[in-house]
Amino acid sequence: MSVHPIEYRYFYPEMKKIWTEENKLEIWLKVEGILAKVHAKLGNIPQSAADEIERKSNLNFVKLGRVKEIEDEIQHDLMSMVETLTEVCDGEAKNYVHLGATSYDIEDTALSLQLREAIKIIENDLTELKTVLLNLANTHKETICIGRTHGQHALPTTYGMKFALWATEIQRHLERLTEVKKRVLVGKMTGAVGTGASHGEKAEEIHRLVMRELNLEPTSISTQVVQRDRHAELVVKLALVAATLDKIAREIRNLQRTEIGEVMEPVRIKQVGSSAMPHKRNPHRSERICGLSRIIRSLAFSSLENVSLEHERDLTNSAPERIIFPETFILLDYMLKQMSQILNGLEFNYDNIKRNLEMTRGLIMTEHVMNGLVKKGMGRQEAHEFLRNCSLEVIKTGENLKEILLNRGISKYFNENELEWYLNPRNYLGNAFKQVETVVTKLKV
């Protein structure tokens, strides 16, 4: 029976498969087979023995059930695999399984192979999300809306700016993953404390050739394990991706609030928002992304704790990593795919966007008017104080800023047409359209 939600709820099959016990065992076996192949190439073991080990190093011969049986007796998962592989090998090949290796030569090298597969899926997810955001940015380049700072109406902006901004952040995550791969996709075949003593004079060649066969970078130096600063960097970078998704989802949630109502998550025809309130349409998918982001960020902390292993290693990283890597990758893959779906189906309420833009009866244009007054000869601080007092009157009386300004004698600086121009949000967007165009052109795949 399933217990963890990544087993039955928050997952997509391709990523989940990478972290199954079967797949991990299969990759361990692959590394064992390559090790035997390299030993034979260097003349350390008979070619026939290497061929037999390679032929049997897969799930057709090494069964997970048998590995589990042995593990239950000896309490060592990697050695259980070694004993099972030894059992199924014929002839002298039995004598050479796992020759010269320590457990984490196999486990850390195999982990890098898993990470390579998993990172590729995340990169594809990020690229898809970036494409969705760029399409939205281009479509909504001129969808003018109110910008908010400190939760208050500030100045006009556009939805194109929002989406383009998020797209550039996704691009930075792609660049970060490209950078971290050269440090995390490494392997080792250097023995129990990293000296290579168990492989004798050919230790350096074995280390290098095994990694070449697996298309991994060999560590330049290690202890019994690949150092965990590499893995911590990766998990922290993935936590950054989760933080961005949290930010986007939080914005959608806020914009879907009844009082704002500018955008809404897509909804299915039979979707239920509440068991008690039939009218509810909740942004539950965005809320889920925000919640899962908390889990991934907490896992980054555990990954940082794994850096400080004692002496040439202890086992304190092992148990956390069995949780950290599957949870981080499976949940992040789920969140990224969900976010692309949400954004692809995002619904816009243009009436509410316009309503909110006009809600403060012109107050959002005071900076524009102030700058105009300065051009007409009024001092900047004087203009600021004048408009601050006018703004207080708008709030107190409920009148429009235009009416208050006209009553306070602004006509000696602007005629009515000029004032209308300064109060039009479309005329105070700076180079917003150009910024969006530049981002879309630069990042378009």
Contact 287, 253 (CB under 8 A): yes
CB contact set of 159 (below 8 Å; sequence gap of 6+)? 136, 140, 143, 145, 348
Q: Long-range contact list for 435-441, CB < 8 A, 24+ apart?
A: 435/161, 435/164, 436/137, 436/138, 436/141, 436/158, 436/160, 436/161, 436/163, 436/164, 437/141, 439/134, 439/137, 439/164, 439/167, 439/168, 440/134, 440/137, 440/138, 440/164, 440/167
Q: What is the pLDDT of residue 445?
A: 67
CA 445 to chain centre: 19
Name the pTM for this structure.
0.95
Q: How far, CA to CA in Å, does 270 sit from each of 281, 309, 349?
A: 11, 52, 21
Annotated active-site positions, please? 150, 274
Q: What is the pLDDT of residue 1?
A: 84
Q: What is the pLDDT of residue 269?
A: 77
Q: Would you write out the chain's pLDDT as a tens digit for each of its 445 residues?
A: 889 999 999 999 999 999 999 999 999 999 999 999 999 999 999 999 999 999 999 999 999 999 999 999 999 999 999 999 999 999 999 999 999 999 999 999 999 999 999 999 999 999 999 999 999 999 999 999 999 999 999 999 999 999 999 999 999 999 999 999 999 999 999 999 999 999 999 999 999 999 999 999 999 999 999 999 999 999 999 999 999 999 999 999 999 999 999 999 998 778 777 777 777 788 999 999 999 999 999 999 999 999 999 999 999 999 999 999 999 999 999 999 999 999 999 999 999 999 999 999 999 999 999 999 999 999 999 999 999 999 999 999 999 999 999 999 999 999 999 999 999 999 999 999 999 999 999 998 6
Q: What is the pLDDT of residue 206?
A: 98
CB contact set of 79 (below 8 Å; sequence gap of 6+)? 70, 103
In the block, tokens 């902390």 appear at: 301
In the block, tokens 């950078």 appear at: 179
Contact 160, 141 (CB under 8 A): yes
